[in-house]
Amino acid sequence: MFFKHILSLKVLIALLLFFGMISLFIGVISINVKDILNLNSTQLEIITLTRIPRVIAILLTGMSLSICGLIMQQLTQNKFVSPTTAGTMDCAKFGILISLIFFSGASFFTQATIASVFALLGSFIFIQILRKIKLKDVIFVP
């Protein structure tokens, strides 16, 4: 059984690397895989300034959402709670919307900070509501 998990992990890591590499070549400006050794300065700039950071951001977001989901499941004692079902992601989207409307000239870091604050506030409100409500069943969040 342990060998089966190791094999599954190796397959998943290989798929992650494969799709991450494919993602480097997908975008508005087409960059072919066969041209990887003969990139001009524009293509190299596109890959290093936009595509590699995009892949890294996607990986970090996925990892952080899974950790947040585990923490929320432990706090609520409910295995079906996740950042999407608890409204954390919706609060972050609302934070981005607020930052775009009221702080349209703000930097990306400022907008991300506002989104993070809204996500934390949304999660805090969700946890506070759960503490006030008496749970009848661990599986369902009232």
Give the tens place of pLDDT for each residue, 49-66.
999 999 999 999 899 888
Quote the mean pLDDT of the chain. Answer: 87
Contact at 8 Å (CB) between 126 and 115? Answer: no
Of all residues in the chain, what percent carry a pLDDT higher than 90?
43
For residue 135, give the nearest of 78, 62, 63, 86 by alpha carbon.
78
List the single range of 4-8, 10-14, 94-98, 116-120 with lowest mean pLDDT. Answer: 4-8
pLDDT value for 138 = 58
Residue 141 has pLDDT above 60, yes or no: no
pLDDT of residue 30: 83
Q: What is the pLDDT of residue 136?
A: 64
> DSSP string of 2-66?
HHHHHHHHHHHHHHHHHHHHHHHT-SSS---GGGGGG--HHHHHHIIIIIHHHHHHHHHHHHHHH
- Interval 90-107 mean pLDDT: 93
Question: Which helix (H) or strand (E) element contains residue 70?
Answer: helix 52-76
